[in-house]
Amino acid sequence: MNITVQPNTYKITYYLNGGTQQGNPSTYNNTSNTITLKNPTRKGYTFKGWYSDSKYKYRVTSIKKGSTGNKTLYAKWSKNTYKLSYQLNGGKNGKNPSSYTVTSNTITLKSPTRKGYTFKGWYSDSKYKYKVTSIKKGSTGNKTLYAKWSKNTYKLSYQLNGGKNGKNPSSYTATSNTITLKSPTRKGYTFKGWYSDSKYKYKVTSIKKGSTGNKTLYAKWSKNTYKLSYQLNGGKNGKNPSSYTVTSNTITLKSPTRKGYTFKGWYSDSKYKYKVTSIKKGSTGNKKLYARWSKLSVGKGKTPTLKNSAKGKLSVKYGKVTYAKGYQITYSTSSKFTKSTTKSLYTSATSKTLSNMKIKKTYYVKVRAYQTDSLGSKVFGSYSTVRKVYIKY
Please count the other Cβ atoms lying within 10 Å of the Cβ belonging to residue 192: 13
**What pLDDT is recorded for position 166?**
84
d(CA 393, CA 312): 6
**What pLDDT is recorded for position 320?**
98
Phi/psi of residue 340, each to 5°?
Answer: -75, -20
Q: Which residues contact 137 (CB under 8 A, 6 or more apart)?
A: 103, 104, 105, 106
For the chain (length 393 residues), average pLDDT per consecutive 10? Answer: 78 98 95 97 98 98 97 98 98 96 98 98 98 98 99 98 96 98 98 98 98 98 99 95 98 97 98 98 98 97 97 97 97 97 98 96 98 95 98 95
Distances (CA, A) of 317 to 22, 309, 366: 153, 12, 11
Q: What is the model's pTM?
A: 0.69
Which domains can be identified in the chain, with CATH numbers?
9-79 (2.60.40.4270), 82-151 (2.60.40), 154-223 (2.60.40), 229-295 (no CATH), 305-391 (2.60.40.10)
Q: Which of 293, 303, 305 is nearest to 369 (CA)?
A: 303
Distances (CA, A) of 197 to 159, 193, 194, 220, 362: 10, 12, 9, 10, 94
**What pLDDT is recorded for position 235?**
97
d(CA 230, CA 237): 8
